[in-house]
Amino acid sequence: MTARRATVAGHTYEFPTLVEVMAKATPARSGDVLAGCAATSEAERVAAQTVLADLPLTTFLDEQVVGYDEDDVTRLVLDTLDAAALEPVRALTVGGFREWLLARAAAGDEPAITGLARGLTPEMAAAVSKLMRNADLVAVGRRARVITGLRSTIGLPGRLASRLQPNHPTDDALGVTASLLDGLLHGSGDAVIGINPATDSPAQTIALLELIDAVISRYEIPTQSCVLAHVTTTLRALEKGAPVDLVFQSVAGTQGGNEGFGVTLDLLTEARSAALELGRGTVGSNVTYFETGQGSALSAGAHLGVGGRPVDQQTLECRAYGVARHYDPLLVNTVVGFIGPEYLYDAKQVIRAGLEDHFCGKLLGLPMGVDVCYTNHTDVDPDDTDTLTLLLGAAGCSFVIAVPGSDDVMLHYQSLSFQDVLTARQVLGLRPAPEFEAWLQRMDLVDDAGRVRELTADAPQARALLAAAR
């Protein structure tokens, strides 16, 4: 392998391997500095981008970032790649691919963009995203159409769904129910009603699944439930007859990262099959849900690629999508601001990462959502999450996460509020998933214009729902 070079501002920079080209071409973020793979100057970053722009896309078929023999994610991706799907762009460079995507997006040619998904490797998506500006990521992201369904349909044009996340620090049934009802009254929950359990046990998982299922059944809500326990816990619950709509798992972009999460690819296959057998879908049969996030491989010490070199966190994130897409998920979301300032330091980095993750996920064929969120030691505030939310809405993001008043009292971080979802829908002219929208109409929770009503507690619609809390 010969070193690749580019000259910027009179200085020639050399990049010995593909791993270094990818890492140093990545827009600045703290996690790559921590990993020791970031560009050491802005000029070096542009030099790496210049090298990357001239690489043929097929470079990524011939040359690996993480070795084929060492890593089952690389094998999964390459062994299941659809060569025909890549054909329209096979002859292009990465820079040419960016222009091709922008041209198709401007022409509104969704089928051309969407048709590539199964022919692209995660590294190809990562590479082109590194050349793109934020507006490029929005413009192309909104034309990569991915539609999935179980009891509601996710990803249709003009729709923005939300995961209602009624977490409680002790999984208290009444506490969970209160947050759940608050969300429904605000028109949230069309993507999923999904709880992060405080305790990862089959008994607790079953109790929470039955709780959500009871509310969904009582009010005939066209949505699905999920308890985001470890996949092995969900499998145990499923064996005991629990009403499992979706099997959930956090996934990473390397075999080592997935081992850190306690999962193998075979285990995910088994879980998907088990959920499919229950046949709980009405409008579709997507039964898996994955969460990802830049930095997860590094935090597990599983971020090294060919030659033991550190791989940048955004490329590794795309490889997690290469895992997820194998299991036909209903939902995938990046938890973009959760991991902390050592991976994404401030609002600029979080906003950039959120747009990259959405774009790359969609390009690779995933029903991509984003948990627009932050912790208190990251330099992000609600003004910044407003910015990212509105950008993601414009980018056609499939769903976002919402909790009461932005405050997750179990996981101790801030995500979007139910009001934030209403604002994004209103400003951008977006609507909930169609089945859920019809339910909101049936329950008279929206007015004739489709706006979620602001109800007093003694309004009949509110009383009908609040009865579930008694």
Partner 1 sequence: MSDAFDVLRSATRARVALGRAGDGLPTDRLLEFRAAHAAARDAVHTPLDVDALVDELAGTGLDVLTVTSAAPDRATYLQRPDLGRQLAEGTRLPGGEHDLALVVADGLSPRAVADHAAGTVSAVLERLAGWSVAPLVVATQARVALGDPVGEALGARIVVVVIGERPGLSSADSLGLYLTWGPRTGRADSERNCISNVRPPHGLSYAQAAETLAGLLLASRELGASGVVLKDEGPALE
Q: Which residues bind partner 1 (CB under 8 A)?
A: 30, 33-34, 166-169, 172, 174-179, 181-182, 341-342, 345, 375-377, 381-382, 403-407, 409, 412, 414, 417, 419, 422-423, 425-426, 454, 456-458, 462-463, 466, 469-470
Counting Cα atoms < 13 Å in the Cβ hemisphere of 240 gives 15
Output the smallest distance, CB 417 to partner 1, in A. Answer: 7
Contact between 446 and 163 under an 8 Å Cβ cutoff? The reply is no
Q: Is 419 annotated as contributing to ligand binding?
A: no
By beta-carbon proximity to partner 1, the closer residue of 169 and 262 is 169
For partner 1, which is the closer residue by CB, 112 or 178?
178
State the minimum distance, in angstroms, from the CB of residue 385 to partner 1. Answer: 11
CB of 345 to partner 1, least distance (A): 6
Strand partners, 371: 335
Complex with partner 1: residue 136 or 384, whichever CB lies closer: 384
Shortest separation between residue 418's beta carbon and partner 1, angstroms? 9
- Cα 236 from chain centroid? 26
Does residue 291 have a known ligand-binding role? yes
Within 337-442, strands assigned E span 368-371, 399-402, 407-408, 413-414
> Least distance (Å) from partner 1 to the CB of residue 161?
17
Exposed, middle or buried, 40 (CB in 10 Å: 0-12/13-18/19+)?
exposed
Question: Is 197 annotated as contributing to ligand binding?
Answer: yes
285 a known binding residue? Answer: no
DSSP strand pairing (399-402 vs 161-164): parallel
Nearer to partner 1, 119 or 183 (CB): 183
Cα torsion 440, 384, 318, 362: sign: positive
Q: Other C-beta atoms within 10 Å of 442: how many?
A: 12
Q: Which is nearer to partner 1, 256 or 367 (CB)?
A: 256
Q: Is 165 annotated as a binding residue?
A: yes
Q: What is the spatial distance between Cα 203 and Cα 215, in angstroms, rounded to a whole number?
A: 19
User: How many other β-carbons are positioned within 10 Å of the β-carbon of residue 389?
Assistant: 24
Is 313 marked as binding a ligand?
no
Tokens standing for 84?
A: 């025909």
User: Is 333 a known ligand-binding residue?
Assistant: no
User: Residue 231: helix, strand or coil by DSSP?
Assistant: helix
**86 or 416, CB closer to partner 1?**
416
Q: Where does residue 76 rank: exposed (0-12), middle (13-18), buried (19+ CB within 10 A)? A: middle
Q: Which is nearer to partner 1, 51 or 193 (CB)?
A: 193
Report CA Rg, the chain.
22
| Smallest separation, CB 422 to partner 1 (Å) | 4
CB of 60 to partner 1, least distance (A): 30
CB atoms within 10 A of CB 282: 13
**Residues within the annotated binding site for adenosylcob(III)alamin?**
197, 249, 299, 410
**Binding-site residues for substrate:** 163-165, 196, 291, 371
Task: Provide the annotated binding site.
Answer: 163-165, 196-197, 249, 291, 299, 371, 410
